[in-house]
Amino acid sequence: MTDKYAVIGNPIEHSKSPQIHAAFAEQTGEDIEYGRILGDMEDFYGDVRDFVGAGGKGLNVTVPFKERAWQLVNERSELARHAGAVNTIIVLENGRLRGDNTDGIGLVRDLEQNHGFGLEGKRILLIGAGGASRGILLPLLEKHPQEVVIANRTESKAVDLAQLFTEQGQVRGVGLEHEHDEPFDLVINGTSAGLSGKVPEISAGCLKPGGWTYDMMYSNEPTAFVRWGLEQGAAKALDGLGMLVEQAAESFFLWRGVRPETAPVIRHLRP
């Protein structure tokens, strides 16, 4: 019997997740069906209940429902607890819901395995103190960078977020105008500025010679932040397509116990 999975979000028609998971299923021989659900802004819980009631085995959760999913699930992984958000729901045998967050794993795997960027001992600037940044902090810190500096327009939000992770590694929060004390090996954009074609207001000299930039957003065309990285002379200026595929692969593994190969899927999706 074919097991049913889906991604839920609002909007959702742009999502590449069905294409990604169809490729994973074909590659691994897993018998699954994966669709899209346009989530009701007023009744997300009802949408999840209906999907599970119809036999659904698992969900990916995207904007704007990750925090609501965190509240809904019966149990949470360590990554989900730290992230304060759930992007993967696993339906357990007894009907209980387990929440996980694979975003940070996806980012780290894309950087390290797909592009060969070692995070250990590096100085990292993370722009933005919202849910996207919080979701990746624990996996980043577990790689033992020299320091992660969170820079945000509202400094207090960056400071508060950093304080949640001080036991996990060297992390501090600053205002955007104070981010440039010394250059960074890696600058990650965790804001949604790219949706309007803008770049966060950071100084041009914040990137070390030979440093890398990474935009958690992705697009068929180079994002505004990718273009900014190239203008700063970044050795590599990456977008978030690889992160998307890698976090999906981790979700697939959590559901099916099989780890698909990601490289051919990334190549297929890249225009």
The residues annotated as belonging to the active site are 66
Q: Which two tokens stand for residue 113?
A: 């395995």
DSSP state of 77: -
Q: Which two tokens stand for residue 112?
A: 């390290």
> Please, where are the H alpha helices in 188-233?
224-231
Are 83 and 101 in contact, with CB atoms under 8 Å apart? Answer: yes
Distances (CA, A) of 200 to 9, 19, 228: 25, 31, 10
**Contact partners, residue 238, CB within 8 Å, separation at least 6:** 110, 111, 115, 212, 213, 214, 215, 226
Are 105 and 250 in contact, with CB atoms under 8 Å apart? Answer: yes
Distances (CA, A) of 253 to 11, 27, 172, 206, 239: 26, 13, 33, 37, 23
**Contact partners, residue 131, CB within 8 Å, separation at least 6:** 66, 67, 83, 84, 85
The number of beta carbons lying within 10 Å of the beta carbon of residue 216 is 27
